[in-house]
């Protein structure tokens, strides 16, 4: 006899799965876990077959019967419901774009597994989706992903290129799991050819700091970049934080630069206490900004910042003729940290000033912000850097922390 909704609801799981027939090929299958699913059994050209319809109660008894009748009409016309379902599934897979599946991968995997997913989200939105987002994921080949990865690498961002490669590799692994692709196109691009991590040990000596800053101010690069490079050294901030800074974040009266959480690597808001020299540099940048809300508006627009690589190129141009071993803008942070540590400043104060996350038990229990110590330290650091620039007053060491006897 035909089933009723009440009877389907009352079906209980057993040790092994079993089925209960509704009639005309429709049956409900009950799993040991308690789940229930609809099946349609039919025979075409003398060969029996079964096709799944959906899970109960997401598909009601009434909906299952309507679907059965629809498939029975196909069988009567000599068509296979199983084949039709396969064709529909393949058509959906063929039509799924990389952006559609990328959003699924982000919500189902990245957002759940990563505590700080903003970096990967940025790679999707800024690098991967603009280049490949509209293309069916099944049609993407190695050359497509190579262009995305090497676009980053060719601009000098090898580490970022490696992260994009890793993200794409995991995304296509997930697509393989769901049968959307049969081959992962990223596997033909070994990580060792994209990026070879090197120990980060480069720090500038006091003499190199002096040479660097004097070269910057005597170079032909834009005045904004001269001031920005000087500021990065004095504030120990990250390049991206300054490039995206807005004047609403800078308080000249309080002597602070507040970096919002969406601009920091740690995902936490950070306050930079400005030395008198840093305030002067910000003040000149304010005049150069021409009324823009951005601290460093780009060359052709008051509403858009400079390209991420622009300040790198400016630095390279400024030091092109120097007899100084290669260093990056990020090495300026390490230089400041190293010299401050060597001259008596507390590691906790230095790390907090750099917005580093302190690990281990100390990181859990130490919630101090060290505001006054950071302000004193950054003023001391600015004074020291200033003394290096002055002609004939290059200090090569033995400087002491504020308050040290």
Is 356 one of the catalytic residues?
Answer: yes
Active site residue 313: no
Alpha helices in 219-308 (DSSP H): 223-235, 239-243, 276-288
Would you call 365 a catalytic residue per the annotation?
yes
Name the burial class of residue 142, with classes exposed (0-12), middle (13-18) and buried (19+) by CB atoms within 10 angstroms of its CB.
middle
Return left, alpha or beta for 245; rule: phi > 0 is left, psi -120 to 50 is alpha, else beta.
beta
DSSP lists the bridge partners of residue 250 as 257
257 CB burial (10 A radius; 0-12, 13-18, 19+): buried
* From 238, 270, 352, 374, the catalytic residue: 238
Spot the catalytic one: 79, 200, 268, 330: 330
Half-sphere exposure for 333 (CA within 13 Å, toward CB): 16
Whole-number Å distance between alpha carbons of 79 and 88: 14
Sign of the four-CA dihedral 84, 88, 90, 91? positive
Q: Which of 31, 121, 356, 384 is catalytic?
A: 356
DSSP state of 251: E
Rg (CA), the chain: 31
Catalytic residue, from 165, 333, 374, 375: name it: 333
265 given a catalytic annotation: yes
Please identify which of the residues 265, 279, 286, 341 carries the catalytic annotation. Answer: 265
Instruction: Write down the catalytic residue from 192, 198, 218, 365.
Output: 365
Catalytic site residue 39? no
Q: Assess contact for 127 and 111: CB atoms under 8 A.
A: no
Q: Give the three-class secondary structure for 305.
A: strand
Active site residue 40: no
CB 193 within 8 A of CB 226: no
Bridge partners, 43 (sequence order): 48
Active-site annotation, residues? 238, 265, 330, 333, 356, 365
């Amino acid at each position: 006899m035909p089933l009723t909704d009440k009877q389907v609801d009352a079906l209980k799981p057993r040790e092994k799965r079993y089925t209960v027939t509704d009639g005309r090929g429709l049956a409900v299958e009950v799993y040991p876990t308690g789940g229930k699913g609809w099946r349609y059994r039919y025979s075409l050209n003398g060969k029996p077959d079964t096709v799944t319809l959906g899970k109960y109660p997401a598909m009601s008894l009434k909906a299952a019967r309507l679907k059965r009748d629809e498939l029975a009409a196909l069988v009567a016309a000599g068509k296979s419901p199983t084949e039709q379902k396969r064709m529909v599934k393949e058509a959906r897979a063929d039509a799924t774009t990389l952006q559609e599946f990328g959003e699924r991968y982000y919500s189902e995997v990245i957002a759940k597994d990563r505590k700080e997913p903003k970096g990967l989200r940025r790679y999707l939105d800024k690098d991967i989706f603009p280049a490949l987002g509209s293309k069916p994921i099944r049609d993407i080949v190695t050359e497509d992903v190579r262009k995305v990865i090497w676009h980053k690498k060719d601009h000098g961002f090898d580490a970022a290129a490696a992260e994009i490669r890793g993200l794409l590799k995991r995304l296509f692994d997930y697509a393989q799991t769901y049968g959307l692709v049969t081959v992962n196109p990223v596997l033909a691009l070994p990580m060792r050819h994209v990026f070879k991590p090197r120990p980060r040990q480069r720090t500038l000596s006091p003499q190199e700091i002096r040479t660097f800053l004097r070269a910057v101010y005597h170079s032909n690069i834009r005045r904004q970049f001269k001031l920005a490079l000087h500021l990065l050294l004095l504030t120990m901030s990250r390049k991206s934080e300054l490039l995206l800074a807005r004047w609403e974040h800078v308080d000249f009266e309080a002597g602070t630069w507040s970096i919002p959480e969406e601009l920091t690597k740690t995902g936490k808001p950070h306050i930079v206490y400005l030395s008198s020299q840093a305030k002067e540099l910000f003040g000149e940048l304010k005049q150069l900004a021409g009324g823009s809300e951005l601290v460093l508006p780009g060359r052709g627009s008051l509403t858009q910042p400079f390209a991420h690589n622009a300040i790198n190129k400016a630095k390279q141009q400024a030091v092109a003729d120097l007899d100084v071993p290669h260093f990056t803008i990020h090495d300026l942070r390490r230089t400041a940290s190293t010299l401050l540590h060597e001259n008596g400043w507390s590691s906790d104060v230095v790390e907090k000033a750099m917005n580093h996350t302190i690990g281990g038990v100390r990181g859990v229990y130490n919630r101090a912000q060290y505001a006054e110590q950071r302000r004193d330290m950054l003023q001391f650091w600015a004074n020291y850097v200033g003394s290096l620039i002055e002609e004939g007053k290059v200090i090569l060491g033995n400087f002491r922390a504020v308050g040290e006897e």
